[in-house]
Amino acid sequence: MCESKIVLIEGGKRSVVMEAAAKVLISGGDATCIDITGEEVLVKGVQVREMNLMKHEIVLQRGR
């Protein structure tokens, strides 16, 4: 499969937002993560920190 885990870094802590996202839409500092069933998770006020396609992981970061 080609889904990716979505991880959020906030306040120095990592948390999993979605285990297997098939699509991530970025708009105005918000990320909408969508899995293969169409379930959506909206993460507000983030930027993409890293996209590691070999590890199937996308890291979002809120704040600095």
Question: How far is the C-alpha of 20 from the C-alpha of 4, rounded, in Å?
Answer: 5
Q: Strands (DSSP E) along the chain, which ranges?
A: 4-10, 13-27, 30-35, 40-43, 47-52, 57-62
Domain holding 13, by residue range, is 4-62
| pTM for the whole structure | 0.92
Give the chain's domain count.
Answer: 1
Question: How far is the C-alpha of 10 from the C-alpha of 28, rounded, in Å?
Answer: 18
Could you read off the pLDDT of 22-47 as tens digits, one per residue? Answer: 999 999 999 999 999 999 999 999 99
Could you read off the pLDDT of 10-22 as tens digits, one per residue? Answer: 999 999 999 999 9
Residue 1, pLDDT above cutoff 80: no
**Confidence band (pLDDT; 50, 70, 90) for 52?**
very high
What is the arithmetic mean of pLDDT over 38-59? Answer: 97
Question: How far is the C-alpha of 38 from the C-alpha of 15, rounded, in Å?
Answer: 21
